[in-house]
Structures are given as C-alpha cells and as structure tokens.
Copies of this chain bind each other. A is one copy, B any other.
Amino acid sequence: MNSIILQQPGKIVFGENSIQGLSEDNLILTSERILFLIATPLLKTLQPICEKITLSGKKVVVMEYTFPGEPTFVQFDSLLKKSTNFHTDCVVGVGGGSVLDCAKLLAALTDSEQQLTEIVGIGFLNDRSSKLICIPTTSGTGSEMSPNAILLNEETAAKSGIISPYLVPDACYIDPLLTVSLPTHLTAETGMDALSHCIEAYTNKFAHPAVDTYALKGIELIANNLHKACVDGHDLEARAAMSLGSMYGGLCLGPVNTSAVHALSYGLGGKFHVPHGLANAILMPEVLRFNLSADPKRHAEVARALGVKLQGTDEEIAEAGIEKIIEISKACGIPQHLSYIGITENILSELADIAMNVTRLLKNNPREVSKEDAIEIYKKLL
C-alpha cells in the first residue's frame, strides 16, 4: 500500500446533544478569548452555550455569519477586520461549509503575519495560533474534517482553494440535532455533495484502502438515509446517519479529495452562483458515466454500496448505480438538467475553460478529461 497522510481533528464528539458538552471542552477551558462565528439560524441554539462560557469568566464575542452563497475574499476580509481587535485564542465555527471555511481561515489568520492572498494554494500557511472548533449544521460539506477552505474571487469568478494541515480543526462537534431544521432543498443538495465526496474518493486515481473504508460506508449511509431525511427532517435516525455519512465524506477530502464532478462544478458555482451541492448533484451521473470505462470494478463497487443488487457485468452494475443516484436525487427534489438552473449551450465553452483550470482536482480523475469532454458532459445535461 502506498503511503498516505490522514489528517483529521484529534477530537470528534459525535451524536445527539453532543454540543451540550462544548462549554466543558478542554480547548474552551484553556482559552481566554473565544470567537464564535455562527450562521444566523443557529444563533438562538448556541446562545445558552455562549452565555455559560461567558459566565465561567471567559471573554466571548459572537459574530453572526450572514453572507448568502459561497464566501468571497472580500467577505472573508470583512470578517477578519471585524475580529482583529479581539485577538481570539479559540475560534468556534457553527454553520454550513461557508461558515466553517471562514472560521478555519479566521483561526489561521488572526494575529498572523501572513496575508490571505499569500496562503492561497496548497501548503502556504505557516502556522495557526488560535485553537479551532468546528460545528457543522449541514450534512454535506465535510469542511469540519478537512484541511481545505474555498473562497470565491468576486472579480474573476474563480474559486480558490486554501489547503493546509493548519486548517484541520482541533475538535469537531457533530450533533445531528443541529441539522433537523435544515430546509429540504438544503438537506438534499448538501447530502448529494457528501455523496459526491465519497464516490469521487472511491473512484479516485489516488484511491487508498485506508480511505475506501470511509468512502464505501459513507455511500451506504447516504443512499439509505438522504431521502428519509428529506421526507421528514425530524427523522433523527436518518439525520444521524447523514451526519455520520457526511463525516466520512469529509474524511475522504484531505488524503484523496474529489475529482471531475467538483472540477466541472467550479464554474457553475463561481460564475453562475449555483449552490455547490446542487451543481455536484446535477453533474455527478454524467461524469460517472464518462469515468466508468476507466475503472468498471470500482464503479460497480460504488453501485453495490448504493444498494444495487443486480447480477451482471461490472459495467451493468455500475450503470445501475448511476441510475440509483439519479433515482435518489430526483426523489429528493433535485433538478436533473443544467437548463433548469439557467445554463444555456453558448456558455458551455466558458464553463469548460474554468473546469480545465482546476487541475488540482482533475488530476485525481480516473479518466483524463479534455475541454471537449467537459463540453460534451455539460451538453448531455442541458
């Protein structure tokens, strides 16, 4: 087996009501100035915990995260400026992927000599002075487990990855109860995103047995529970299974990461503000169909994990897996066509150009993707 580096939070507190232990976490107890970055819908839920920490003698600042869509460089900068004078020694992010990515970068850049622009790319961050706790409120992004943060350049419409071991949180609290009030369409889109993390890791050119375990279990959990969580957001069993599946998807991101689905979705997100999970959900079936021939066996194993029982060749089983993904996606109310979200044929070339620039992810794809291939994939999905 090749050598691979697995980096994850040293402490993961998983389960219902797990956030109730936050105020007693050693990371909090050993900090003095705690900065909470909280998505608006969660402010009220976190209030008693923040108050408890304040009452214990700590300085607490709560910053509300209000930006829609994916965070931009300018938006993050405004958060950093707002927090600068607080000199936090522990950042706690509570929200979806955008909030967590910003919390991770706040922890990294608070009282740092490095500038945001210096750390874009892989491995440019020199250190992180602040402790970092991430608390996801969707089951999708996996940001709480990964060394990645993604920001959007508003001028160029390009998404940039900031990737560093220093962006892995010290601890995560994954509490399925925080996800029960997530609206159905966000449950569906973020859930399909988590599914794409697992599938793109398992079919990855750099797939590894130590990550396959997470990928396959994540696929199984999400396939069995995403629709249930969409039908009844208060189905706690389904929510907990989705939280676990999403956590496994997140564990795939650091060591193996995603491939062409994510690369082809960059332009949809960056340029046309299509939500990240939705873009991935629409693209996934056609990209997998394109990739299938490069590794029928692994694509068939994905299908098995999705619940396909069919007997047949690997190709047939894999194709049934793709149909199964479409079935789940449709059942959760996700549109299947790019035209539905306003994409027209004349912009496919531009989208493909953006995708071709995401070499960081394209290099992971089991089959080489040319610009023409990308356009063809988009076209099939119009």
Residues in A lying within 8 Å of B, measured CB to CB: 1-18, 21, 26, 165, 168, 170, 175-176, 208-210, 213-214, 217, 240-241, 244, 247-248
Contacts and interface: CB of A to CB of B under 8 A. Distances in A.
Contact of A7 (B11, B17, B168, B241): B11
B5 A7 contact: no
B17 A3 contact: yes
A100 to B, nearest CB: 17
Contacts of A5: 11-14
Given A209-B244, A244-B210, A4 B15 contact: yes
Contacts of A244: 1, 209-210
A373 to B, nearest CB: 32
Given A1-B15, A1-B16, A244-B209, A7 B6 contact: no
Contacts of A3: 13-18, 21, 175
A10 B210 contact: no
A16 B16 CA distance: 38
B6 A12 contact: yes
Contacts of A240: 1, 209
A217 B210 contact: no
B13 A10 contact: no
A213 B209 contact: no
